[in-house]
Structure 1
Amino acid sequence: MTPVQFGVLTVLCQQGISDIVSIGRRLGVDRITVANVLRRLERRNLVKRPLNSVDKRRKLAQVTKQGRTLVDAVQPAMIRAQRRFVHPLDSDEQAMLDKLLSKLLLTNNEASRAPLK
């Protein structure tokens, strides 16, 4: 599973049902990428694509039980990997890293093809 696939599944687990544009904004990726990821996840029965009866142009996605089970199984390993990655840094250094990365993301956000919202 790719980081973007995991991100899409995580967003859907948190929101229940969402549209492609909103998912992209949460992850900072464009709608074409989200649509392609959703197609692959749907083939694996990890998401379903319900019809939007209000606005047919707004494509929806929803995590399946199988998708939620996968996120629940993978998430602890992702958290452990993140902790292992920053383990060489003390707590002050970890806080500084977070601050610097956030600054870089915010500063460059508007120049992105898919800015975070």
Structure 2
Amino acid sequence: MTALPPATAPSAELAAAVQKSALLGRPGFLIRRLHQIHGALFLEETAEFGITPVQYSVLTALAEHGEMDQISIALEVGLERTTVAEVIQRLEGRGLVRRRQSPKDGRVRLVKLARSGQQMVEGMAEAVQRAHDRTIAPLPPQDRDQLMLLLIRLLEANNDVGTVPFRLP
């Protein structure tokens, strides 16, 4: 276990916010709540497509990397293999991806976007971007970049925690 740096006193601004609710002083609560909010915005912006954020992540990984095995997809999106298998099954049922056995290893299933899956990714791009923009829109532009950089730093520093890492270049 890594030693933590000594805690510092919160800024006056943070102390005032935490006065509203003790939960506002807990990063885990804030991350979970913001995830819920973003999920709602994503579904609102992309309702016509009937795709979940996790399904869109899988489609995006396939659009970016081409045909991959399910373990590679799991690493690309930071999901457990069983979750990826369920997502792929749903996407295949909608005709958005195709699966086949690997010619090198019959135990391995390869997945690639179907033409309709590629069209889905392209067709959703603007709606997805609106959801992302709406999530951070309350912040001034310079704070948006700072938030993104801080989130990336936290992800990179903690990526090995949990059951599935996210593949970092």
Shared fold (TM-score, shorter chain, > 0.5): yes
User: Could you list the runs of 5+ residues in structure 2 that have no partner in the other structure?
Assistant: 1-50
**C-alpha separation in 1, matches of 2:97 and 2:140:** 39
Q: Which among 137, 155, 160 is matched to residue 105 of structure 1?
A: 155
What CA RMSD, in Å, does the superposition of the two structures yield over aligned residues?
1.1
Residue of structure 2 equivalent to 1:91: 141
Q: 2:111 aligns with which of 58, 61, 64?
A: 61
AA matched with 1:73: G
Which protein shows a greater Rg? 2
Report the Cα distance in structure 2 between the residues aligned to 1:90 and 1:57, rounded to whole angstroms: 50
Q: State how far apart, in whole Å, the 2-side matches of 1:75 and 1:4 are.
A: 15
SS where residue 100 of structure 2 aligns?
A: coil
The runs of 4+ residues in structure 1 deviating greater than 4 Å are none
Contact persistence 2:71–2:81 (CA under 8 A): yes
Q: Are the equivalent residues in 1 in contact too, given 2:101–2:107 (CA < 8 A)?
A: no
Shift of 1:4: 0.8
- How many pairs does the alignment contain? 117
Name 1:79's counterpart in structure 2: 129
CA distance in 2, matches of 1:95, 1:72: 25
CA deviation after TM superposition for structure 1 residue 92, in Å? 1.8
Q: Is the 8 A contact 2:78 2:166 kept in 1?
A: yes
Distance 2:81 2:109 in 1: 10
TM-score (norm 1): 0.93
Q: Distance in 1 between matches of 2:162 and 2:125?
A: 27
Unaligned residue ranges in structure 1 (runs of 5+): none
TM-score, with length taken from structure 2: 0.66
Distance 1:102 1:16 in 2: 25
Percent sequence identity is 38
Specify the SS of the correspondent of 1:33.
Answer: helix
Q: Relative contact order (alpha carbons < 8 A, sep ≥ 6): 1 or 2 greater?
A: 1
Q: Provide the residue aligned with 2:96 in structure 1.
A: 46
Partner of 1:18: 68
